[in-house]
Amino acid sequence: MPTASSSISDEYVGAFHRADKNQNGVLTRAEIIRALSKDIKLQTMLRLPSRITVSDMESQSSFERVFQSMDISGDRKIDISEFKAFCIRIAQEFLDSKPGVSKLSYDNKRRKELEDIRALEVSRGEKDTEKDMLRGEIAELKQQLKRNKFEQQHDVHNLQTEVKELKASMMTTQKLSLKQEWKNDDVNGGVSMMIRNPRQRHSQHEEVITLNHSINQSINQPINQSINPGYYWD
């Protein structure tokens, strides 16, 4: 069975959520002004008229006093705890202004309201702590991804360096082999024949170029297949 205190708290919460049209958990000046034009309970809680206009300086001044009094944090937005605390204070001031009204029951209600507000603030603090922990985990994960990317790029660089060295070594070996063959041909009179036969000399030169191209393909193809540029994350 709901108590009087919980009923009052529910009225505050209900009025807050009715005014919070975009449901982002805070009220702006514009949202409160729009809600006042339709919500009689909100008018009573805030002790404000239904119409707040620029042309009506008195209503505008009253609204600014109320809003600034609610905005304890000074962020120009009213959250649920600020809203409830203000409503409780206004209600208390109203009772104080009425002699003969028993304050004992209201003090108990007010105490319960303050406890509810503290509980809400503790809950918000726990959620903020959880968010901070998640942000820390995300930041650590991003750092780990950056380290992994750097290490992978370093490995690729080393592999490319090894490929270049291997290509140079193979080319050197092949050139030495060809020089040895030409030397043997020179001993056997082959060089004289190459000088006398330019077509054969051109054919051997093309064989060297073709062999160099084959070496490049045999080395680059496995490397290109093993390195996927799309693997790295920006």
Alpha-carbon gap, residue 219 to 78, rounded angstroms: 67
For 124, other C-beta atoms within 10 Å of its C-beta total: 14
Q: What angle do CA 25, 84, 37 make, to 5 degrees?
A: 75
Per-residue model confidence (pLDDT) at position 191: 47
Whether 78 contacts 122, CB under 8 Å: no
Alpha-carbon gap, residue 1 to 24, rounded angstroms: 30
CATH topology of domain 4-101: Recoverin; domain 1 (1.10.238)
Per-residue model confidence (pLDDT) at position 68: 93
Per run of 10 residues, the mean pLDDT along the chain (length 234 residues) is 60 90 92 92 90 89 93 92 90 71 55 71 73 83 82 79 80 74 59 51 64 65 53 46
Alpha-carbon gap, residue 45 to 66, rounded angstroms: 11
- 37-43 own/partner pairs: CB under 8 Å, 24+ apart: 39/15, 41/11, 41/14, 41/15, 42/15, 42/18
Does pTM top 0.75 for this prediction?
no
Ordered DSSP codes for 129-191? HHHHHHHHHHHHHHHHHHHHHHHHHHHHHHHHHHHHHHHHHHHHHHHHHHHHHHHHHHHTTHH
Amino acid at 41: K
